Chains A and B, each alone.
Chain A
Amino acid sequence: MNLADANRRDFLRTTALSAAASALAARVSARGPTPPGGRELPVVPGVAWDKAPCRFCGTGCHVQVGVANGKVVAISGDRDAEVNQGLLCVKGYHVGHILYGKDRLTTPLLRRDGQFVPISWDDAIDVIAQRILAAPDKFAFYGSGQWTVGEGYAANKFIKGGLSNNHIDPNARLCMASAVVGYISTYGIDEPYNCYDDFDHCDVLILWGNNFAEMHPVLFSRFIDRKLRGEKITLIDLATRWTRSSERADHVMIFQPHTDLAIANCIAYQVIEAGAVAREFVERHCVFRKPWKQPGEPQTLLGEPCGFDEYKQLISSYTPEAVSQMSGLSVEQLRLLGRFFIDRSKKVCSVWCMGVNQHTQGTAMNNLLHAIHLLSGHWGRPGDGPQSLTGQPSACGTVREVGTLAHGLPGDLRVDNPEHAASAEKLWNLPPGRINRKPGYHTVLMWEKFCTPSDQGGDIHTIWVQVTNPGQSLPNAKKLFEAKQRLPDKFLIVSDIYPTTTTRLADLILPSATWVEKNGIFGNSERRTQQWFRMVHPPGEARDDCWQTIAVARRLYDLGFPGMKDKDGKFLFHMQDDEGKEVEIWKWDQYYGRINVDERLYEEYRPFTRIKHKDVAPYSELVKSRGMRWPVVQQPDGSWRETRYRFIEGMDPFVSSGKGVQFYYSVGKDDRAVIWFRPYVPPPEAPDAEYPFWLDTGRVLEHWHTATMTGRVAVLKRAMPAGYVEMNREDAAELGIRNGERVRLHTRRGSLELPVWIDGRGRCPRGHLFVPFFDENRLINRLTLDAHCPFSKEPDFKKCAARVEKVMA
Chain B
Amino acid sequence: MMTSGLLVCLASETSLREQAMAELRSCPQLTLGEQQGSWLTAALQTDDAEESERWHHWMQEIPGVRAVEVVFVHWDDDEAGVGRHEPR
Q: A residues engaging B (CB < 8 A)?
A: 9, 12-21, 23-24, 27-28, 42, 44, 47, 66, 68-69, 71, 73-77, 86-90, 92-94, 96-97, 100-103, 221, 224-225, 228-230, 498-499, 504, 711-719, 776-777
Q: Could you tell me the distance between the alpha carbons of A20 and B78 in the complex, rounded to whole angstroms?
A: 25
Given A89-B69, A102-B83, A714-B50, 12 extra CB contacts under 8 A: A12-B74, A17-B5, A19-B5, A24-B34, A42-B72, A87-B69, A93-B52, A228-B38, A714-B81, A714-B83, A715-B52, A718-B50
| B9 CB contacts on chain A under 8 angstroms | 225, 228
Q: B52 → chain A, closest Cβ, in Å?
A: 6
Chain A CB within 8 A of B43 CB: yes
Give the residues from 40 to 88 in chain B that come closer than 8 angstroms, CB to CB, to chain A: 41-45, 48-50, 52-53, 56, 66-67, 69-77, 80-86, 88
Total number of B residues with any Cβ neighbor in A under 8 Å: 46
Cβ-closest chain A residue relative to B11 = A228
Q: How many A-B residue pairs have CB under 8 A?
A: 174
Q: Could you tell me the distance between the alpha carbons of A715 and B75 in the complex, rounded to whole angstroms?
A: 14
B43 lies within 8 A of A221 (CB): no
| B76 CB contacts on chain A under 8 angstroms | 73
Q: Could you tell me the distance between the alpha carbons of A88 and B43 in the complex, rounded to whole angstroms?
A: 15
B33 lies within 8 A of A20 (CB): yes
| A71 CB contacts on chain B under 8 angstroms | 77
Q: Known: A20-B33, A28-B39. Contact between A73 and B84, CB under 8 A?
A: no
| B77 CB contacts on chain A under 8 angstroms | 68-69, 71, 73
| A96 CB contacts on chain B under 8 angstroms | 73, 75, 80
Q: Known: A20-B41, A715-B53. Contact between A93 and B73, CB under 8 A?
A: yes
The 10 closest A-B pairs by CB, nearest first: A16-B5, A20-B41, A714-B83, A19-B72, A16-B43, A20-B5, A19-B5, A74-B74, A12-B3, A23-B71
Q: B residues engaging A (CB < 8 A)?
A: 1-7, 9, 12, 31, 33-34, 36-39, 41-45, 48-50, 52-53, 56, 66-67, 69-77, 80-86, 88
Chain A at the B interface: SS class: helix
| B82 CB contacts on chain A under 8 angstroms | 97, 100-102, 712-714
Cβ-closest chain A residue relative to B73 = A75
Q: Could you tell me the distance between the alpha carbons of A716 and B54 in the complex, rounded to whole angstroms?
A: 11
A21 lies within 8 A of B70 (CB): no
B5 lies within 8 A of A94 (CB): no
A92 lies within 8 A of B70 (CB): yes
Q: A9 → chain B, closest Cβ, in Å?
A: 7
A20 lies within 8 A of B53 (CB): no
Cβ-closest chain A residue relative to B52 = A93
A221 lies within 8 A of B69 (CB): yes
**Which residue of B42, B80, B84 is within 8 Å of A97 (Cβ)?**
B80
Q: Could you tell me the distance between the alpha carbons of A24 and B39 in the complex, rounded to whole angstroms?
A: 7
Cβ-closest chain B residue relative to A11 = B3
A94 lies within 8 A of B70 (CB): no
A21 lies within 8 A of B33 (CB): yes
Cβ-closest chain A residue relative to B39 = A24
Q: Could you tell me the distance between the alpha carbons of A102 and B87 in the complex, rounded to whole angstroms?
A: 11
Q: A707 → chain B, closest Cβ, in Å?
A: 9
Q: A82 → chain B, closest Cβ, in Å?
A: 16
| B41 CB contacts on chain A under 8 angstroms | 17, 20-21, 23-24
**Which residue of A9, A74, A224, A716 is within 8 Å of B1 (Cβ)?**
A9
A17 lies within 8 A of B43 (CB): yes
| B75 CB contacts on chain A under 8 angstroms | 73-74, 96
B3 lies within 8 A of A16 (CB): yes
With most chain A CB atoms within 10 A of its CB, the pick from B6, B45, B71, B81 is B71
Q: B9 → chain A, closest Cβ, in Å?
A: 6
A94 lies within 8 A of B49 (CB): yes
Q: Could you tell me the distance between the alpha carbons of A329 and B44 in the complex, rounded to whole angstroms?
A: 44
With most chain B CB atoms within 10 A of its CB, the pick from A75, A93, A101, A716 is A93
Q: B25 → chain A, closest Cβ, in Å?
A: 15
B70 lies within 8 A of A77 (CB): yes
| B70 CB contacts on chain A under 8 angstroms | 77, 87-90, 92-93
What would be 25 A-B contacts, judged by CB atoms less than 8 Å apart? A9-B45, A12-B1, A12-B3, A17-B42, A19-B5, A24-B7, A24-B36, A44-B74, A73-B74, A76-B5, A76-B73, A87-B69, A89-B69, A90-B70, A101-B84, A229-B38, A499-B85, A713-B81, A713-B82, A713-B83, A715-B48, A715-B50, A716-B53, A718-B50, A719-B53
